[in-house]
Amino acid sequence: MTTSYPKDKIKILLLENVHQVAVDDLRKDGFTVTTAESMPMEQLIEELKTTHAVGIRSKTPMNEAMLKHAPKLLCIGCFCIGTDRVDLAYAASRGIPVFNAPFSNTRSVAELVIGEIIALSRGLMDRSAECHRGAWYKVAKGCCEVRGKLLGIVGYGHVGTQLSILAENIGLKVKFYDISPKLNLGNAEFCESLDALLQEADYVSLHVPRNDSTRGMFGAKQFAQMKKGAFFINAARGEVIDPAALAAVLQSGHLGGAAVDVFPSEPAGNGEAVFETELRGCPNTILTPHIGGSTMEAQRAIGLEVAASFKAFINQGSTTGAVNFPSLELPLKPKSHRILNMHRNEPGVLSKINNLLSEAGANVNAQLLGTDENIGYVIIDLNREVSRDVVQMLREMPFDVKTRVLF
């Protein structure tokens, strides 16, 4: 497809070891793709000045301070489930949709949690460490089968539901708590309060996003409510728990063990950097370096999913799957020029746009509008003769945020 701006001039920056399949897919489509594991902030700011799309995972911040240095940025891709590293509202105000991969790594995270449930139940990490030291402690005390035990899932979203299915298949009973109504899968039961779930569950596994309502949601009070000898797992976000409070109940023996994959502060890269947490040295505690979605299958699927979102938006204006933007997808009309207009969501904007199109003598072949509380997004296919005039007129309107002509 011929676009108004050469594809090889569109620069895409992919950070944090995004899977090569995404790099290859985007280059195959004609884009110029630059990759890096990480960048010093000063260098990243310089790169953003000429970047049209940026892809990150869980470490690189895309906040207002960073995005102010990205005048050409069209879209952002989070090659993961979480989007908390991006200032979603500010990006939307700049006409920048943000895409993620809400499904692609759910199986990998759920499988890790199942493995941790079994490992914690048998004290495998401590037994393994003892054997590595040359010690031999063959014990059954405190070890149990998981069959018939109750798993409490906090957050019944994509990962929580996958975990629910896998858990039932190995004989666990499942109850879940979520702040919004969710359809239970299999024999899983909804629990009306978090307190009730904590008091009943043999295993508690967190699968909530990081936001203002979840930050610090698990502290000394919540851990004290859990059954003596129960196990705790956090594969969500580090900021949702108080690590010191968790360490205290592990050292006291109130909890039988824990598995933690995410931390409030994580090293910027791999290597010998010192990793500090109060949980180091706690008994029967599995600590892993944020690897829940780190399987080749998951990273490949994520790469393809977000790359497809990039291509659909840059090439066609589709925002299907955007987390901060109206979701629109309009079939391509042959022999038309496609215009994308992002504007402040104010009363009468569409009427003003259509009056403008009429004044320009535009023959509109198709039009699709979507709005949310703050932003409006309209895709317009019209005759080629007036498209550039219309673009200029739209850019001069006081409500305009960003206007592009695609082809």
Residue numbers annotated as active site: 237, 266, 290
Within 10 A of 233 (CB to CB), how many other CB atoms are there?
A: 25
The structure tokens listed for 63 are 């906040």
